[in-house]
Every structure is written in structure tokens, then in C-alpha cells.
């Protein structure tokens, strides 16, 4: 008895057999358990291949996926101008600092009332004198009282600016994650 080849069995699975060939095969499978077992095994293999084809991805799959992600990212996280925000914040801080410096300069020009000074004034005076002490240790430029106030204001502006820049960088970095 001649057995059926794998090639014929595969043709049978793919419905490529017809007529005499098909009827001969059917007759043989009725009496041959060996060929029937091979047919079942080949059917399983065929199903596996069909499943793999379902999940097959094209060569530019990664590229297309990245494009889609880029589009989604762009749509949901529009770019914010951190530089613009920084400039606005700096402007506000500068305005506030100039106002404070002007108020304090006016207050300083008014003859001092012999009373207990406010805590913030004491603290500011201490900071001002400390700042002018540091500066005068290098040069005797900021010797006058008004200049020391301006110097303190500038130091304040610089400190706040550094803080804002640091915060905006931190935020920008956090957004990138």
C-alpha cells in the first residue's frame, strides 16, 4: 500500500485536490490511520502558520508607530514657551523689586521716628548693611544708604531669577519624561 505524501496532504488541506485524486485520498484515509494522523498534524501546522500571518507586521511598522506616537504627543502636549513665561516672571519680579526699593528709599529719606522698627525693616536693614559691608570690603562704591538699598534689591532680583530659572528647567525636564 502506497502512503500519501505530505505534498498531497497539504494540497488536500488547501482544497486544491479534486476529481479522482480527491476520491482516492478519501478512500485511503478511511483505512490508513498513519496518513490520517499525518493529515491532522499538518492541519495543526497550517493553522499555526495562518495565525502567524494574522499577526504579521510590515517592515515599516516601527516607523509608522513612532509617527503615530509623535502625532498623539504633539496633540495632547502642545509646546509651552518656557522662555516667554520666564521673561514675564522676570518682568514682574523686576517691577516689584523696583517698587520695594523706591518705597524703602522714600522711607529712608524721611527722618526716622524714634519708635520700635518693624521686624521686616530691621531684617532688611541688617541684610542691606551686610550686603554693603561685603561690597565695601572690595570697593567703597556702595557706601551711601540709597545705593545699599539698590544693591540689596538687585541681589534679591538675582536670587529670585535664579529660583525661577531653576523651577522652569525642572518643569521642562519633568515634561520630557
What residues contact 101, with CB distance under 8 A and at least 6 apart? 149, 150, 152, 153
35 binds Zn ion (CB under 5 A): yes
Pick between residue 25 and residue 97 the one whose CB is nearest to Zn ion: 25
Pick between residue 3 and residue 80 the one whose CB is nearest to Zn ion: 3
Integer Cα distance of 123 and 131 in angstroms = 12
- CB-based burial label for 32 (10 Å; 0-12, 13-18, 19+): middle
Pick between residue 22 and residue 32 the one whose CB is nearest to Zn ion: 32
Segment lying near Zn ion (by CB under 5 A), choices 32-40, 44-52, 101-109, 156-164: 32-40
Pick between residue 32 and residue 157 the one whose CB is nearest to Zn ion: 32
135 binds Zn ion (CB under 5 A): no
Pick between residue 36 and residue 164 the one whose CB is nearest to Zn ion: 36
Q: How long, in residues, is the chain?
A: 177
Out of 22, 32, 105, 108, point to the residue binding Zn ion (CB under 5 A): 32
The least distance separating Zn ion from the CB of residue 19, rounded to whole angstroms, comes to 20
What residues contact 94, with CB distance under 8 A and at least 6 apart? 157
The least distance separating Zn ion from the CB of residue 20, rounded to whole angstroms, comes to 17
118 backbone dihedrals φ, ψ, rounded to 5°: -60, 155
- Nearest in space to 157 (alpha carbons), one of 102, 108, 84, 92: 92
Integer Cα distance of 52 and 45 in angstroms = 11
3 binds Zn ion (CB under 5 A): yes
The least distance separating Zn ion from the CB of residue 72, rounded to whole angstroms, comes to 57
User: What residues line the site for Zn ion (CB under 5 A)?
Assistant: 3, 32, 35
Amino acid at each position: 500500500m502506497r502512503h500519501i505524501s505530505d505534498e498531497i496532504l497539504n494540497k488536500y488541506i488547501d482544497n486544491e485536490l479534486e476529481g479522482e485524486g480527491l476520491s482516492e485520498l478519501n478512500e485511503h484515509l478511511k483505512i490508513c490511520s498513519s496518513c490520517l494522523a499525518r493529515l491532522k498534524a499538518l492541519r495543526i501546522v497550517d493553522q499555526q502558520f495562518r495565525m502567524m500571518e494574522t499577526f504579521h507586521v510590515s517592515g515599516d511598522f516601527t516607523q509608522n508607530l513612532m509617527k503615530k506616537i509623535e502625532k498623539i504627543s504633539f496633540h495632547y502636549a502642545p509646546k509651552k514657551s518656557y522662555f516667554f513665561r520666564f521673561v514675564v516672571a522676570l518682568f514682574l519680579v523686576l517691577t516689584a523689586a523696583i517698587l520695594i526699593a523706591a518705597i524703602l528709599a522714600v522711607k529712608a529719606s524721611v527722618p526716622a521716628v524714634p519708635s520700635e522698627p518693624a521686624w521686616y525693616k530691621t531684617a532688611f536693614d541688617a541684610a542691606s548693611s551686610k550686603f554693603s559691608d561685603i561690597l565695601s570690603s572690595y570697593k567703597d562704591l556702595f557706601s551711601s544708604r540709597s545705593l545699599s538699598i539698590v544693591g540689596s534689591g538687585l541681589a534679591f532680583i538675582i536670587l529670585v531669577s535664579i529660583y525661577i530659572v531653576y523651577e522652569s528647567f525642572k518643569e521642562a525636564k519633568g515634561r520630557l519624561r
